[in-house]
Structure 1
Amino acid sequence: MGKVAAAYNLMPEDPEYPIENITDALPKAVPEGVNLSGLEVKPLAFGLKVIEVTFIMDDAEGIIDRLEEALSDVPGVQNVETLSLTLI
């Protein structure tokens, strides 16, 4: 079974929401078998910031759906945008 790298942009629900609350919650929120391999906070526009995260996981059925649902459920996350999915 191969591995998958998945990259996402996470948009906070409010520009004033503490980004640290989201970044601290991410490692605990992801499903078992999913590893956080990269996290970067980037400026977007007009004081808005976006969190770019990358995860590595086995290429198992349904794991991407479970990951995206878990990311959406993190307090303070308004939107989850898929940047890339690739086999590694």
Structure 2
Amino acid sequence: MADVLVVLKVYPDSDEINLDNLYGDISNSLPKEYKIVKKETEPIAFGLKALILYIQMPEQMEGGTDNLEEIVNNIQGVSHAEVVGITRLGF
């Protein structure tokens, strides 16, 4: 079974949210099959930044990326999260 790499854009509730703490909360909330392989920030507007996470997960995971979005959207400090890209890693 192959893995996929999901690019997830996470918008915080406000510019006062510490993105490092938010990253930690997200990392601790993900199932063990998910692995954050890279993180970046992206300026949005007026000092607000989005957190861009590259998450490796099994291709056949039940719920797929919808489950990932739901988990992250339920974390305190997250305004919303959306999958902006996905690619297959193995054959």
Fold similarity call, TM over 0.5: yes
Backbone CA RMSD of aligned residues: 1.3
For residues 37-74 of structure 1, what are the alpha-carbon distances to aligned partners after superposition, in whole Å with 9 as ceiling and x for unaligned? 11112222211111000101111132322211111112
Secondary structure of residue in 2 paired with 1:70: helix
C-alpha distance in 2 between matches for 1:20 and 1:32: 20
Partner of 1:84: 85
Alignment of 1:65-84 (within 5 A): 65-84=66-85
Partner of 1:4: 4
- Structure 2, gaps ≥5 residues long: none
Give, as a single letter, the amino acid of the residue that structure 1 aligns with 2:84.
L
Partner of 2:52: 52
C-alpha distance in 2 between matches for 1:20 and 1:3: 26
CA contact (8 A) 1:31 1:66 kept: no
Partner of 2:31: 31
Over the matched positions of the two proteins, sequence identity in percent amounts to 27
TM-score, scaled to structure 1: 0.88
- Structure 1, gaps ≥5 residues long: none
C-alpha distance in 1 between matches for 2:26 and 2:17: 15
Give, as a single letter, the amino acid of the residue that structure 1 aligns with 2:51.
I
Kindly tell me the number of residue pairs found equivalent between the two proteins. 88
